[in-house]
């Protein structure tokens, strides 16, 4: 007993003298009959020994004394440290997960989230996210089910089967819808189960799918237009061209489509609009902006760019002032222009106007519309060849069929 305090460090981890701490707890045990506390001991070599001490007041030889029971906590502390480190690693992994994470109990309470949820829903902290979670749930899902009923059904399904995947739509604080794919996974926890939910933001995925579908639709439309024009008879060519331009315009969602043909005038390269389809814009066929227009006046850089096989694409407000002066009066906000080559010569161009809203044509759209210009060059070449042949025949005194009148094929259409 004389060596007892040799196994107790002078100070406890809280900085208090061990003798003072011991005296306080002994006093409490005498007063209350029992006390339990943690106390740091040490081995003979000075190695710290965390311990749980229980002091109990007991009668002994006609008086009351204190019996002390010491339980070595080293193994328990080691296990707790490992658990804490594991939880910390799990917390780090959860926060590093590039998916919105929620942890649910079987009663539908959201117990935990991660940093990705905070970023995705643009809130200040995990606590704020959990507090405001039901503000992100619309009353109904896109399939018509009530969100509460659908969410509960999938929670029960995950608890029963272990896993399920489903589509789920949230609503952000600004009112925008957030489509997600949610995976529920059942996890054993204590004597029960919880459900880990991982939500994947589908906005970019859906946008890509929409672009692919639109690209495929546009590609099919251009191919069908090319087939129609290649099979078109001369007397129906203008009408077929107008119809094909309209289907392409509707597929790409533009307001005007046109084809211009080059010619020399006064030693300078000019161009004239030969065909036009106008849907949501005022037709321009035959006015001062579409007949005998010099490239160097209309768009100083277009002649060189198009002649090299390059396309023009962009918002009109970002273009050369001379180009703006020519396009703005026609109501054009954005434009895409692709060159047409006939027999390896810069024959003209095909253009697409957006007149109701500015837009930037995607790379996929530009590629298909450029291909459309290449495809159209074949029937243009054929019609040019037939026109030259008819002119030669006419020069020898033979008659030839007139091109159809504009009334026969739609809005302000001219032939080659």
* Residue 312 in domain: yes
CA geometry: angle at 306 spanning 301 and 311, to 5°? 100
What pLDDT is attached to residue 86?
A: 52
> Do residues 229 and 142 both lie within one domain?
no
What is the predicted pLDDT for the residue at 387?
A: 57
The radius of gyration computed from the CA coordinates of the chain, to the nearest angstrom, equals 41
Residue 148 and residue 60 share a domain: no
Indicate whether 127 pLDDT > 90.
yes
Same domain as 179, residue 34: no
Say if residue 352 is in the same domain as residue 336: yes
Domain that holds residue 167: 89-201
Indicate the pTM of the whole model: 0.56
* Listed residues 37, 72, 107: the one ending a domain: 72
Q: What digits encode the pLDDT tens for the residues 225-254? A: 888 888 888 888 888 888 888 888 888 889
Identify whether 83 is part of a domain.
Answer: no
Q: What is the pLDDT of residue 197?
A: 93
Q: Same domain, yes or no, for 144 and 241?
A: no
In the chain, % helix, strand, coil (3-state, to 5) comes to 45, 30, 25
Average pLDDT, the chain: 84
Show the tokens assigned to 187: 């996890």
C-alpha–C-alpha distance, residues 40 and 48, integer Å: 7
* Same domain (yes/no): 385, 244: yes
Q: Are residues 288 and 373 in the same domain?
A: yes
Q: 197 and 212 share a domain?
A: no
In the three-class reduction of DSSP (H, G, I as helix; E, B as strand; rest coil), residue 269 is classed as: strand
Question: Which residue, of 153, 172, 201, is where some domain finishes?
Answer: 201
Domain membership of residue 280 (yes or no) is: yes
Residues 139 and 286 in one domain: no
Q: What is the pLDDT of residue 396?
A: 37
* pLDDT of 281 above 80: yes
Query: Is position 218 within any domain?
Result: yes
The CATH number covering residue 122 comes to 3.30.450.20
- Number of compact structural domains in the chain: 3
111 shares its domain with 223: no
Are the beta carbons of 293 and 325 closer than 8 angstroms? no
CB neighbourhood size of 412 (10 A): 19
Do residue 216 and residue 275 come from a single domain? Answer: yes
Residues 6+ apart with CB under 8 A from 180: 100, 167, 168, 169, 170, 199, 200, 201, 202
Is the pLDDT score of 412 beyond 90?
no
Mean pLDDT comparison of 229-243, 260-274, 367-381, highest-scoring range: 260-274
Q: In this model, does residue 181 exceed pLDDT 90?
A: yes
Same domain assignment for residues 229 and 367: yes
Does the structure show a pLDDT above 70 at 85? no
pLDDT in tens, 197-214: 999 999 999 988 888 888
């Amino acid at each position: 007993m004389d060596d007892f305090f040799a196994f107790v460090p002078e100070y406890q981890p809280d900085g208090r003298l061990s003798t003072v701490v011991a005296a306080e707890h002994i006093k409490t045990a005498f007063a209350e009959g029992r006390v339990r506390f943690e106390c740091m001991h040490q081995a003979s070599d000075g190695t710290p020994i965390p311990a749980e001490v229980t002091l109990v007041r007991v009668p002994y030889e006609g008086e009351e004394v204190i019996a002390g029971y010491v339980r070595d906590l080293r193994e328990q502390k080691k296990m707790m440290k490992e658990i804490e480190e594991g939880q910390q690693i799990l917390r780090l992994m959860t926060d590093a997960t590039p998916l919105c994470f929620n942890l649910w109990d079987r009663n539908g309470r959201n117990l935990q989230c991660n940093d990705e949820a905070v970023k995705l829903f643009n809130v200040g902290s995990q606590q704020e996210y959990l507090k405001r979670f039901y503000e992100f749930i619309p009353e109904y899902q896109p399939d018509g089910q009530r969100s509460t009923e659908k969410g509960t059904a999938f929670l029960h399904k995950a608890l029963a089967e272990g896993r399920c995947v489903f589509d789920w739509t949230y609503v952000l604080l600004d009112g925008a819808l957030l489509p997600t794919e949610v995976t529920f996974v059942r996890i054993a926890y204590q004597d029960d189960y919880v459900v880990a939910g991982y939500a994947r933001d589908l906005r970019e995925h859906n946008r890509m799918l929409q672009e692919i579908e639109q690209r495929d639709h546009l590609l099919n439309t251009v191919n069908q237009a090319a087939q129609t024009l290649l099979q078109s008879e001369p007397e129906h060519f203008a009408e077929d061209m107008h119809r094909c331009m309209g289907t392409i315009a509707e597929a790409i969602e533009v307001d005007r489509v046109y084809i211009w043909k080059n010619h020399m005038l006064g030693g300078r390269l000019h161009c004239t609009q030969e065909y036009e389809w106008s849907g949501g814009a005022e037709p321009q066929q035959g006015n001062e902006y579409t007949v005998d227009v010099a490239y160097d006046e209309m768009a100083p850089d277009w002649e060189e760019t198009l002649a090299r096989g390059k396309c023009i694409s962009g918002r009109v407000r970002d273009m050369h002032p001379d180009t703006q002066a020519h396009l703005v009066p026609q109501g054009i906000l954005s434009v895409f222009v692709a060159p047409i080559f006939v027999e390896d010569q810069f024959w003209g161009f095909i253009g697409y106007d957006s007149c109701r809203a500015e837009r930037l044509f995607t790379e996929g759209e530009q590629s298909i519309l450029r291909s459309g210009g290449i495809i159209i060059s074949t029937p243009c070449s054929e019609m040019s060849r037939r026109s030259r042949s008819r002119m030669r025949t006419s020069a020898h005194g033979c008659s030839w069929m007139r091109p159809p009148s504009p009334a026969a094929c739609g809005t302000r259409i001219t032939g080659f």
